[in-house]
Amino acid sequence: MRFAALTVFALTLGAAAPAIAGEFDARGVYHPSPNAVASIEFGADFDVVADYFTPAQAPAECKPGSTVVTPADPFSGSEVLHVALKGFGCADRFIVYGLPATKAAYRATLWMRHGGIDAQLTATHRPESAKPTSYAKLSATGRTTSDGWVELASNDFSIDGEALSSLYLKLADFDARGTEVDAFELVQSGDYIEPAVCKGSADPVCGTEAVCQFGRCEAGGLHVPPLPDAAVRDEVVDRMAGLLTIFFGGRKTRLADMPRALERIETLRKAPSAWTFWNGFATAIRELHDWHTHADGDIQSAGSGRSFNACFIGGVGDTSSASWPRHPLYEDVLVSHVGESKVGLHAGDRLLAVDGKHPIEWALGLRGVDWGYWQACDDRVYAEALERLGGLIPEYASTITVLTCSSATKTCELTPKTISVATIDDEGSGYVACDNRPVYYLTANNPGPRHDVGYKFYEGQVVGTTPDEKIRALIWDTLYGGGDPQGFVNTSLKSLYTSFKSNARGVLLDHRAGNGGTLDAAETATTLMCPPSTALVFRSPIDTAGFNGPADNAAGLALFATAKSSSPYRVGSVDYDPLLPVALLLHRDGSASDFFPFGVKGAPKVRIFGPGPTAGAFSTFFTFDPPGPISFQLASGDSISAAGAPLIGHGVEPDEVVLQRQSDLLAGKDSLVESAVAWLRAELKP
Per-residue pLDDT of 127-170, as tens digits, reads 999 888 999 999 999 899 989 999 999 999 999 999 999 999 99
* Residue 630 within a domain: no
- Under 8 Å between Cβ of 405 and 321: no
Phi, psi of 22 (to 5 degrees): -65, 170
Domain with residue 69: its CATH number is: 2.60.120.260
Nearest to 535 by CA among 595, 609, 606, 614: 595
Number of structural domains in the chain: 2
**At 387, which helix (H) or strand (E)?**
helix 383-396
Concatenating the DSSP letter of every residue in 59-85 gives GGGG---EEEE--SS-SSSS-EEEE--
What is d(CA 249, CA 545) in angstroms, rounded to the nearest whole number?
A: 9
End residue of a domain, out of 171, 195, 219? 195
End residue of a domain, out of 195, 213, 246? 195
* Residue 610 within a domain: yes
Residues 6+ apart with CB under 8 A from 231: 6, 16
Q: Calculate what percentage of the chain has a pLDDT beyond 70.
A: 93
What is d(CA 550, CA 569) in angstroms, rounded to the nearest whole number?
A: 18
End residue of a domain, out of 195, 221, 255? 195
**The residue type at 604:** P
Q: What is the 3-state secondary structure (H, E, C) of 96-145?
A: CCCCCCCEEEEEEEEEEECCCEEEEEEEEECHHHCCCCEEEEEEEEEEEE
Q: What is the mean pLDDT of residues 498-522?
A: 97
Q: What is the 3-state secondary structure (H, E, C) of 285-337?
A: HHCCCCCCCEEEEHHHHCCCCCCCCEEEEEEECCCCCCCCCCCCCCCEEEEEE
Per-residue pLDDT of 367-377, as tens digits, reads 999 999 999 99
The whole-number pLDDT of residue 24 equals 87
* Residue 478 within a domain: yes
In angstroms, how far is the first alpha carbon of the chain from the final one? 85
For 54, the domain range is 4-195
* Residue 241 within a domain: no
What residues does 539 pair with on adjacent strands?
638
What is d(CA 196, CA 215) in angstroms, rounded to the nearest whole number?
A: 9
Residue 666 has pLDDT above 80, yes or no: yes
* Residue 289 within a domain: no
* Residue 561 within a domain: no
Q: pLDDT band at residue 14, thresholds of 50, 70 and 90?
A: very low
* Residue 42 within a domain: yes
What is d(CA 32, CA 43) in angstroms, rounded to the nearest whole number?
A: 14
Domain with residue 447: its CATH number is: 3.90.226.10
Nearest to 291 by CA among 548, 535, 588: 588
* Residue 409 within a domain: no
- Under 8 Å between Cβ of 178 and 82: yes
Nearest to 430 by CA among 309, 304, 306: 309
Per-residue pLDDT of 183-241, as tens digits, reads 999 999 999 999 899 999 999 999 999 999 999 999 999 999 999 999 999 999 999 99
- Residue 430, classed as helix, strand or coil, is coil
- Under 8 Å between Cβ of 299 and 220: yes
Q: What is the pTM of this model?
A: 0.93
